[in-house]
Amino acid sequence: QQQVKQSPQSLIVQKGGISIINCAYENTAFDYFPWYQQFPGKGPALLIAIRPDVSEKKEGRFTISFNKSAKQFSLHIMDSQPGDSATYFCAATRNTNAGKSTFGDGTTLTVKP
């Protein structure tokens, strides 16, 4: 049973455009929502994260929007650049010692020059 659903599976955006990736979760016990970025040949790395008591978090061109009542969150990449081409994973976690995360299936973003 997948607990975090991510869409779309792939996304092609022109340079300078806005990339939007959406995730939905089911378990209301989740209390931290990170996004990871993975370049080819590398492992995923934390990009940006948000707690559910905040509706939006912005870091540079990357913004997370969070809708607690709808149990949805999304990543917006403004002014998308070819260097942003990567696979993006959303995740949901509970603040337990074991630190397990539930990941979405990933979105492959291609930014065309």
Partner 1 sequence: DVKVTQSSRYLVKRTGEKVFLECVQDMDHENMFWYRQDPGLGLRLIYFSYDVKMKEKGDIPEGYSVSREKKERFSLILESASTNQTSMYLCASSLHAGRGAKNIQYFGAGTRLSVL
Instruction: Report the interface residues with partner 1, using CB under 8 A.
Output: 6, 9, 32, 34, 36, 41-46, 49, 89, 93-101, 103-106
Tally Cβ neighbours within 10 Å of residue 75: 24
Taking the least distance from each CB to partner 1, the nearer of 40 and 83 is 40
Rounded to a whole number of angstroms, the minimum distance from the CB of residue 30 to partner 1 is 10
Count Cβ neighbours within 10 Å for each residue of 90-103 and write b for 16 or more, e otherwise. bbbbeeeeeeebbb
Rounded to a whole number of angstroms, the minimum distance from the CB of residue 59 to partner 1 is 14
Taking the least distance from each CB to partner 1, the nearer of 90 and 111 is 90
57 φψ region: left (φ > 0), alpha (ψ -120 to 50), beta (else): beta
Rounded to a whole number of angstroms, the minimum distance from the CB of residue 82 to partner 1 is 22
93 φψ region: left (φ > 0), alpha (ψ -120 to 50), beta (else): beta
Taking the least distance from each CB to partner 1, the nearer of 44 and 86 is 44
